[in-house]
Amino acid sequence: MTDNAKTQERELTDLCAKIRAWQEARKLSDSAMLRRFVDLGSTKTFTRIIKGDTEQMDIERQLANYRAVWALIESIGDTDERGEAGYEDLSGVAALRRVLLEVFKESGNGRFVLVEGDTGSGKTMAAKMLMVTWGQRMLFIELAPVFGDSPHHFLGLILTALGQKDLPFNPAERLWTVVEAFTQTRRCLVIDELHHAGPRILNTIKTIINQTPGEVVGLAMPTLWAKLERGAAYEECRQLTGNRLAERVRLAPINRGDLAKFVSRRLPGLNGDLPKAVALVEQHARARGNLAFVRDCCRRAAELYDGDKIDIESFSRAVSAEVESR
């Protein structure tokens, strides 16, 4: 075995160990893992790699598969560690699930979903909760202003999320590689902070929709997306939100039902004081990050007090402390 082959084998077994640790921390069965992450292969393959038995195995191919699985796990985030678990019955999750279940059946070009919502309205949480449900059917990336309007960097984000390490340098080759991957396996590409895109990236998204069978979900802030629509990217936005648009999902800044679920589940000791707690935190949340503010108040209260025994006075002090910290 060559040195390169040995290095790849070590990386594969190390990745498998991390995946197994993630699985055990969440008490998921092997069958549940294999349903969620199809690139793990069969139960036999998964078990063999865990045991370090890679003889007569296509190491390079399996390494690409397991890199893709780990990239997805990292994009979902380790949200269970500090009470940050999301909830599948929040309004934003339900709205996006309803739309995607319809778009997954679409064979025409109407496969673009635009999700608009202010900071803390639950856009990213909704997408990541559905990633937990649908596993590798979903692919999550996040745009940032530092990338500029560069299809080269945009396609690099996608390929990295797919688990590829040796990225083609030529932008055309990157696009071809993405199109090939999305054609072989129908995927739903979720792009967070889509308002950071420009005309060239939006044109690249249009090409991906035209040349592959999958879906594209864009998460954006309404004010910044409107600015994009009115500016130099007017024509590209119009093409995406014209005949390629499946639905525009608008999330409310804060939903009282969602707020109550957050507080009651993260601070179960409030019991009969829940309506007071909801009213108290709601009056501050709208101007301070919506559900993100509620999450931070619950986290602060749990850290300062016993979440199972907390009363409304303690919660009020935690909310006040959170307000003062902003």
131-163 pLDDT per residue, tens = 878 887 899 999 999 888 999 999 999 999 988
DSSP string, 90-134: SHHHHHHHHHHHHHTT--SS--EEEEE--TTSSHHHHHHHHHHHH
Question: 3-state class of 138 per DSSP?
Answer: strand
Greater model confidence, 87 or 213: 213
pLDDT of residue 83: 37
Residue 184 has pLDDT above 70, yes or no: yes
Average pLDDT over residues 37-62: 87
| pLDDT of amino acid 255 | 84
Q: Say yes or no to pLDDT of 86 above 80.
A: no
CA distance 94 to 164: 32
* 307: pLDDT strictly greater than 90: no
Q: For residues 41 and 65, give the distance between their C-alpha atoms in angstroms, rounded to a whole number.
A: 9
Greater confidence (101 vs 286) lies with: 101
pLDDT of residue 81: 38
For position 76, what pLDDT does the model report? Answer: 65
Whether 78 has a pLDDT exceeding 90, the answer reads no
CA dihedral 118, 122, 124, 127 (to 10 degrees): -130
Mean pLDDT of 68-91: 66
Interval 225-267: pLDDT, tens: 999 999 989 999 999 999 899 999 999 888 888 889 888 888 8
Q: What is the pLDDT of residue 130?
A: 87
Contact 188, 163 (CB under 8 A): no
pLDDT of residue 85: 52
- Residue appearing with tokens 């999330």: 251
Using DSSP's 3-state secondary structure scheme, residue 54 falls into coil
The tens digit of pLDDT for each residue in 267-277 reads 888 878 899 99
How large is the greatest C-alpha to C-alpha distance in the chain, in angstroms?
Answer: 67
Q: What is the pLDDT of residue 5?
A: 81
Mean pLDDT of 188-208: 96
What burial letters (b/e) apply to 212-239, b meaning 16+ CB within 10 Å? bebbbbbbbbeeebeebbeeebeebbeb
Q: What is the gyration radius of the CA atoms in the chain, in angstroms?
A: 22
- Nearest by Cα to 252 from 86, 89, 91, 87: 91
Digit-coded pLDDT (tens) for 287-304: 888 888 998 998 888 888
Give the pLDDT confidence score for residue 286 in this predicted structure: 85
Q: How confident is the model at residue 35 (pLDDT cuts 50, 70, 90)?
A: confident
Q: Span 80-86, mean pLDDT?
A: 45
Flag whether pLDDT at 82 surpasses 50.
no
Q: Mind listing the pLDDT tens digit for each residue in 114-136? A: 999 998 888 988 888 888 788 87
pLDDT at 270: 83
> What percentage of the chain has pLDDT greater than the value 90?
47
Tokens of 141: 């990336």
Mean of all residue pLDDT scores within the chain: 88
